[in-house]
DNA sequence: CTGTTAGCGCTTTCAA
DNA sequence: TTGAAAGCGCTAACAG
């Protein structure tokens, strides 16, 4: 390995001068700088980031800990983070907790041990993991999922409002027995979306019925099972609001398997878009989240938090939007 | 920050002893070890990985550099890598090069600077990036895309064979003017898949026609444009083989926009599955890759390479499989 | 503007 | 089995 001393020796200067040239912080005589540059090129010198990190007590890497790499929701979110992070001079690495608090804990430990410059995390719900970061003084931004027990900057979408939009839309289209498949009880997003659903029922004077509500796992399989369970319960829904993208897919699969046509026999609206929603037949109505913006905003907050660790906490809530496609066509269609 | 010396002082031993307890390599008197353990717990000591890395000249992190985090192909591949990596004691972080050689170069530089223990990479095609890793002695495994100019372990699928399967299948179904949308010229996977396509045409005595072939960018948009270009060229295809999942989606969109029905007016087979391929209407016939196995195999190779840096290079080729769904129904259907 | 020097926190010889 | 001491490669006071 070529060290800074090798370069210094070849250029006939001290290691400190090489360091100055490399980091461009302090000014160096142009002639010396040129010699150093040449020596670096000649030796193909690459600064050892580990040594630098040790000395500086921090890295220039951000960790983005996401809860499910298989969920396309995170894809453009990550792009948003990357674009801001790269521009600010950070490398962004992704860690996949897979909705597993233990795996999340491992990545949090790694982020801590490796002295990551900052962490953006979509929490599995275990606040302790987040607190560990905060306590260690690592700049953190929570994304998508608020964590009440930890004091961190947060970027959310208006979950309740989005769910309300979706459910209200179904009500307006003439559906009367609207089911809801929400996420795990422990997750605030799941709770909020359920709240929004209930608010819409109330607004439209539709009777709430617990038989129409299920808690899924935010996975395809869970959506399938929840849908099956609702159908089997005899609750006789005529529409369903599924609180995330993968569960919507699962629910649709169940409907296909049972020979229930959408939207003629069952209206469907999902929360969070899926790629190719328009290719799925019928095309899927969904509550669209500004995923790229979500990532961008989180990254911006992180940059600010790093620059000013004591600034007051902030929570940014982004708007969702209802994208109406075919799966929630007016109920009346059935009778045409 | 709590250091090893704080622990040593509290436990009344030397830092070396604490280190021994932490790493469990060398044996330590049980009584002392217990005292050290207690001191660590009391102080909530967390070893500083950066310092350890500097001293040991390597980390326990793997970087997986993928070319497009938006492509679901990489999702389960990453899971395969993670499962093996975690079991072997490594943390796995993901880097998204976004098909951009410059971005890739940045992540390669980061992996090098951070002394990553190993790298698994789906190359953008710029061999120099890979060579840099190899030259620095970093254990590397190339995945999905072979890199001829660099000497690395490689895990591939039988691209030519898969493309041949897909094209032959279309031919057997009665399609006669089969178009091909392959990937970027620079990528070996694109070349191989095109080869497979051509081989099938030959086998079925179908006349090759360059108007039926396009080089896309492996993105949705590129698939759309390639499809449009083929249609506009007057080449009059009756089927299309698209060489990756996202381009298949793009091609389908184009067909939808033009009011061309699948498979009645156009048979379609894609390479590489997409999630919800069965929900898309018509459901998509695709060449399925063993993505999880691909990741697993790469990780296994990496483990071996790390253990034995001088072992001979190996290339593992995994089988693809044709999944026949509705988009490639027999041509005769049209006349029924 | 430049060089000297002292560590960052840890592991690992080497002696005891 | 344990401790002392050196040093991984770099940066940042501090002097000059």
In this structure, are A143 and A179 located in the same domain?
A: no
Strand ranges (E), chain B: 61-66, 91-96, 118-121, 140-143, 153-157, 178-182, 213-215, 239-242, 267-271, 285-288, 315-318, 321-323
Q: Which domain holds residue A241?
A: 159-288+322-333
Which nucleotides in chain D lie closer than 7 A to a protein CB?
Answer: 1-5, 7-13
Domain count, chain A: 3
Cα(A263)–Cα(A252) distance, integer angstroms: 11
Contact B50 A48 (CB under 8 A): no
Pure H helices in A173-282:
188-203, 220-232, 245-258
Radius of gyration of chain A (CA): 25
Could you tell me if B278 and B163 lie in one domain?
A: yes
Contact B95 A96 (CB under 8 A): no
CA-to-C1' span, A55 to C7 (A): 9
Angstrom distances, CA of residue B188 to CA of B57, B124, B273, B294: 35, 10, 19, 17
Does a structural domain hold residue A180?
yes
Does B26 touch chain A if contact means CB atoms closer than 8 Å? no
Separation in Å: C14 C1' and A178 CA: 76
| B133 and B185 co-located in one domain | no
Chain A residue numbers with beta carbons less than 8 Å from the beta carbon of B281 are: 279-281
Q: Which pLDDT belongs to residue A167?
A: 98
Contact yes or no for B63 and A94 at CB 8 A? no
Residue B71 has pLDDT above 80, yes or no: yes
Mark yes or no for CB contact B281/A280 under 8 Å: yes
The answer to whether residue B335 scores a pLDDT higher than 60 is: no
Q: Are both B186 and B275 inside the same structural domain?
A: yes
Within this chain, do residues B200 and B127 fall inside the same structural domain, yes or no? no
Instruction: Find all residues with CB under 8 Å of A87, minimum gap 6, and list them.
Output: none
- pLDDT at B333 > cutoff 90: no
Distance CA B188, CA A105 (A): 39
Tokens 């990545």 -> residue: A107
**pLDDT score at B336:** 36
Distances (CA, A) of B274 to A162, B42, B323: 27, 50, 12
| Pairing, β A239-242 against β A213-215 | unpaired
Report residue A77's pLDDT band, with 50, 70 and 90 as the boundaries: very high
Kindly state whether residues A279 and A306 are assigned to the same domain. no
pLDDT for residue B268 is more than 80: yes
Lowest-pLDDT range of A188-197, A198-207, B63-72? B63-72
pLDDT (average), residues B265-283: 89
- At A205, list the tokens: 């004077």
pLDDT tens by residue, A112-146 = 999 999 999 999 989 999 999 999 999 999 999 98
- Is the predicted pLDDT of residue A288 greater than 50, yes or no? yes
Note whether residue A40 is domain-resident: yes
Does residue B253 belong to any structural domain of this protein? yes
Q: Is residue A52 part of a domain?
A: no
- Residues A265 and A328 grouped into a single domain: yes
Cβ of residue B324 lies below 7 Å from strand C: no
Whole-number pLDDT of residue B223: 96
Whether B54 CB is under 7 Å from strand C: yes
Residue nearest to nucleotide C2 (CA to C1'): A17
| Average of per-residue pLDDT across B182-191 | 94
Alpha-carbon span B74 to A176, nearest angstrom = 41
- Domain identity same for B242 and B306: no
Whether B59 sits inside 8 A of A50 (CB atoms) is: yes
Alpha-carbon gap, residue B181 to A74, rounded angstroms: 28
Residue-wise pLDDT for A19-54, tens only, equals 999 999 888 999 999 999 999 999 999 999 999 999
Listed by number, the residues of chain B in 79-98 with a beta carbon closer than 8 Å to a beta carbon of chain A are: 79, 82, 86, 91-96, 98
* Confidence band of B332 (pLDDT split at 50, 70, 90): low
Question: Which bases of chain C come closer than 7 Å to a protein CB?
Answer: 1-5, 7-13
Distance A139 CA to C13 C1' (A): 38
The reply to whether B128 and B185 lie within a common domain is no
Q: Looking at chain A from residue 37 to 56, which residues have their Cβ under 8 Å from any Cβ of chain B? A: 46-51, 53-54
| Residues 102 through 141 of chain B touching chain A, CB cutoff 8 Å | 103, 106-107, 109-110, 112-115, 136
- Triad A38, A42, A47: Cα angle to 5°: 85
The mean pLDDT value for B329-333 works out to 76
A 60-79 residues with CB < 8 A to B: 61, 63, 69-70, 72, 75-76, 78-79
> Is position B53 within any domain?
no
Residue B140 and residue B97 share a domain? yes
Q: Rounded mean pLDDT of chain B? A: 93
Cβ B92 vs Cβ B46: under 8 Å: no
**How many residues are recorded in chain A?**
336
- Tell if A15 CB is < 7 Å from nucleic strand C: yes
* Cis omega (within 30 of 0) for bond into A92: no
| CATH code of residue A25 | 1.10.260.40
Give the C-alpha separation, A151 to A227, whole Å.
Answer: 36
How deeply is B311 buried, as exposed, middle or buried, from its count of CB atoms within 10 A (0-12, 13-18, 19+)?
Answer: exposed
User: CA nearest A45: which of A53, A55, A36, A58?
Assistant: A36
Q: Is A53 part of a structural domain of the chain?
A: no
Query: Are A165 and A274 found together in one domain?
Result: yes
The two tokens of residue A169 are 């839309």
Is pLDDT above 60 for A334? no
pLDDT at B212 over 60: yes
B268 strand-pairing partners: B240
User: What is the average per-residue pLDDT within B257-279?
Assistant: 91
Does A238 reside within a domain? yes
Residue B52, in any domain of the structure: no
Asked if residue A220 and residue A202 are part of one domain, the reply reads yes
CATH number of the domain bearing residue A218: 3.40.50.2300
Q: Which parts of the protein come within 7 Å of strand D, by CB position?
A: A 1, 3-5, 15-16, 19, 22-23, 25, 45, 47-48, 51-52, 54-56; B 12-17, 20, 26-29, 31-33, 51, 54-55, 57
How many CA atoms lie less than 13 Å away from B174 in the CB half-sphere? 12
User: Is A335's pLDDT higher than 80?
Assistant: no
A209-245 pLDDT tens trace = 999 999 999 999 999 999 999 999 999 999 999 999 9
- Note every long-range contact of B273-278, with CB atoms under 8 Å and residues 24 or more positions apart, other chains counting: B273/B72, B273/B73, B273/B245, B273/B323, B274/A276, B274/B72, B274/B245, B274/B246, B274/B248, B274/B249, B275/A70, B275/A249, B275/B72, B276/A249, B276/A274, B276/A276, B276/A280, B277/B323, B277/B325, B278/A253, B278/B325
* Predicted local confidence at residue B15, as pLDDT: 95
Query: Percentage of chain A surpassing pLDDT 70?
Result: 99
Mean pLDDT in residue range A296-311:
95
State yes or no: pLDDT of B278 exceeds 80.
Answer: no
Mean pLDDT lowest for which of A94-98, A119-123, A147-151, B288-292?
A147-151
> Distance, angstroms, CA B11 to C1' C15?
23
């Amino acid at each position: 390995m070529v060290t800074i001393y090798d370069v210094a020796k070849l250029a006939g200067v001290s290691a400190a001068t090489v360091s100055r040239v490399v980091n461009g912080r302090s000014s160096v005589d142009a002639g010396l700088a040129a010699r150093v540059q040449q020596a670096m090129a000649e030796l193909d010198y690459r600064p050892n980031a580990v040594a630098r990190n040790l000395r500086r007590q921090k890295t220039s890497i951000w960790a983005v800990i996401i809860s499910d790499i298989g969920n396309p929701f995170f894809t453009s979110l990550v792009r948003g983070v990357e674009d801001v992070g790269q521009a600010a001079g950070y490398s962004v690495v992704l860690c996949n907790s897979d909705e597993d608090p233990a795996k999340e804990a491992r990545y949090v430990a790694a982020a801590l041990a490796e002295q990551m410059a900052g962490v953006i995390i979509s929490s599995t719900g275990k606040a302790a993991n987040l607190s560990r970061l905060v306590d260690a003084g690592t700049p953190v931004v929570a994304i998508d999922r608020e964590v009440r027990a930890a004091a961190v900057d947060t970027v959310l979408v208006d979950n309740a409002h989005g769910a309300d939009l979706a459910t209200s839309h179904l009500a307006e289209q003439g559906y009367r027995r609207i089911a809801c498949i929400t996420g795990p009880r422990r997750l605030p997003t799941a709770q909020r979306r359920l709240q929004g659903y209930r608010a819409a029922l109330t607004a439209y004077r539709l009777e709430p019925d617990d038989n129409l509500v299920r808690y899924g796992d935010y996975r395809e399989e869970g959506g399938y099972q929840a849908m099956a369970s609702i159908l089997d319960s005899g609750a006789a829904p005529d529409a369903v609001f599924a609180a995330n993208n993968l569960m919507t897919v699962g629910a649709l699969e169940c409907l296909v398997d049972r020979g229930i046509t959408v939207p003629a026999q069952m209206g469907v609206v999902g929360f969070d878009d899926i790629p190719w929603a328009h290719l799925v037949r019928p095309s899927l109505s969904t509550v669209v989240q500004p995923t790229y913006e979500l990532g961008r905003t989180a990254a911006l907050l992180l940059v600010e938090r790093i620059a000013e660790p004591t600034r007051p906490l902030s929570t940014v809530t982004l708007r969702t939007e209802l994208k109406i496609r075919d799966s929630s066509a007016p109920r009346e269609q059935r009778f045409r």
